[in-house]
Amino acid sequence: MEATCWNVMYGILQVWLCAVLGLIVFPAMFGVSLGFTDFYIKVLVKTLEWATRRIQRGQKTQPELPAHLPNGIIQKNDGSMEEEIGELRRSHPKALNGGDFTLSDVFYFCKKGVESIMEDEVTQRFTSEELASWNLLTRTNNNFHYISVRVTIIWGLGVFIRYCVLLPLRVTLAVIGLSWLVIGTSLVGLLPSSSVKNWISDLIHITCYRICARGLSATIRYHNKENRPKKGGICVANHTSPIDIVILANDGCYAMVGQVHGGMMGVIQRAMLRSCPHVWFERSEMKDRHAVAKRLRDHVADKTKLPILIFPEGTCINNTSVMMFKKGSFEIGGTIYPVAIKYDPQFGDAFWNSAKYNMVSYLLRMMTSWAIVCNVWYLPPMTRQDGEDAVHFANRVKSAIAQQGGLVDLSWDGGLKREKVKQSYKEEQQKMYSSMIVGQD
């Protein structure tokens, strides 16, 4: 009896692996789609539309939820400090220039302080993006699946599909993809340096990422492919998730930049380095800006090497905004290739809140989402202009990415997620107010 059970399980495993390899892995390796993902997305869209209509019908007898304001729960003014203080001084004939301190000025700073306490521009960028309608995922809203019996049944069926069908399939594909990457790059590393070795290495990298993307049911639309990053350049993109690398590497190969890790991640890094000149730093090197800049500059100077992929924000932002770009990437020189990435939150939350979820929890959430659907825009290459410093160049690139991706362009440093506001930011506001009082430009 026991032997029969093992034979049955072995047979099921064989059928499972043959189906996965034949219908997903091999087509993915050759960049061919059999249409399963597109059909799945269409069925999913229809299902979500039906669920939204049922929820709206069920809510007719309930009070309407307040509309979500585009900037959050507080409607903020876009005026400058001078304009807003001038509005408070309407009852005072004195002009701002050369004017003395007025008690009404205090209300401006009180108002800004309360707004920041209630909802500041930084904190809300590190919470999941709000949805216009429920996407049948429990983590979006725990109450919607009780609105009607039909919605409850569909939600329960969705839980079964996501955890009992999609999760095992995606874990299988992830294991196959990463195993292929480690084994393939290790073998390529034994070959002598040549154009053939580089070609095989690129092929192994891109097929691995394609398999991993299929494992997430990823539907990616690439726009303006004529602007794709070229060798000897630097690709910079907004950062939402660790899978940004998988999304971009599906359409081309890049040299990765990062810190050396131990464990399984270290095994993958060492295997990749054998076949391709990625730039991995030891922890002590990461603290030495000059050493980092030199290695990156040397890489960019070699026009035969893959473009470097860098996320200048330094942390993941929640798919609504682009925050301050660190200037280091823009001091190296060379051509910058900006890329804008925008995920569709309807099918799953791609944002990684590292303060709330560890990597394992995050990957579990991703693999039990419906799908990953996103748009990628390649922007025209940009170079540093005469007389332009690295900070202004970084801001120019950031603004271009934000505009193309439909993201909010913020000047705040993403490091504020874990750190306090720098004293220089406070002093800047003080100087602005001081110049108004004493009448200086």
Residues 345 and 392 occupy one common structural domain: yes
Residues 261 and 372 occupy one common structural domain: yes
C-alpha 239/C-alpha 258 separation (Å) is: 14
Residues 233 and 271 occupy one common structural domain: yes
Is there a domain that residue 196 lies in? yes
**pLDDT tens for each residue of 177-229:** 888 888 888 888 888 888 888 888 888 889 989 998 888 888 999 999 999 99
C-alpha 385/C-alpha 92 separation (Å) is: 45
C-alpha 101/C-alpha 158 separation (Å) is: 62
C-alpha 300/C-alpha 335 separation (Å) is: 9
| Domain count for the chain | 2
- Other C-beta atoms closer than 10 Å to the C-beta of 283 total 9
- Per-residue pLDDT at 95: 46
Q: Which amino acid is at 51?
A: A
Q: Which amino acid is at 40?
A: Y
Is there a domain that residue 43 lies in? no
- What residues contact residue 214 under an 8 Å CB cut-off, 6+ apart? 24, 25, 28, 37, 173
Is there a domain that residue 75 lies in? no
Residues 95 and 210 occupy one common structural domain: no
Q: 52-59, long-range: CB within 8 Å, 24+ apart, which pairs?
A: 52/133, 52/134, 54/147, 54/148, 54/150, 54/151, 55/133, 55/134, 55/144, 55/147, 55/151, 57/148, 58/147, 58/148, 58/151, 59/147
Token look-up 């960019």 returns: 300
- Per-residue pLDDT at 323: 92
Is there a domain that residue 243 lies in? yes
Q: Which structural domain, as residue segments, surrounds residue 180?
A: 144-418
Q: Which amino acid is at 303?
A: K
Stretches in the chain below the pLDDT threshold 50: 62-71, 73, 95-98, 441
Strands 408-409 and 234-237, bridge-based pairing: unpaired
Which of 78, 219, 125, 77 minimizes the C-alpha distance to 407?
125
- Per-residue pLDDT at 97: 47
- Per-residue pLDDT at 321: 92
- What residues contact residue 61 under an 8 Å CB cut-off, 6+ apart? none
Residues 213 and 308 occupy one common structural domain: yes
Angle in degrees, 0-180, between the axes of helices 81-88 and 423-438, rounded to the nearest 10: 50
Residues 324 and 246 occupy one common structural domain: yes
Residues 269 and 306 occupy one common structural domain: yes
Residues 114 and 238 occupy one common structural domain: no
- What residues contact residue 89 under an 8 Å CB cut-off, 6+ apart? 96, 99, 102, 104, 105
Is there a domain that residue 234 lies in? yes
- Per-residue pLDDT at 75: 55
CA-CA-CA-CA torsion for 299, 301, 307, 309, nearest 10 degrees?
A: 50
Tokens, residue 215: 């494992």
Please check whether residue 348 is in contact with residue 370, taking contact to mean a CB–CB distance below 8 angstroms: yes
Tokens, residue 176: 């196959």
Residues 154 and 217 occupy one common structural domain: yes
Residues 90 and 233 occupy one common structural domain: no
Residues 196 and 293 occupy one common structural domain: yes
Please check whether residue 239 is in contact with residue 319, taking contact to mean a CB–CB distance below 8 angstroms: no
C-alpha 242/C-alpha 393 separation (Å) is: 25
Give the three-state DSSP class for 101.
coil
Residues 100 and 191 occupy one common structural domain: no
In sequence order, the β-bridge partners of residue 220 are 374
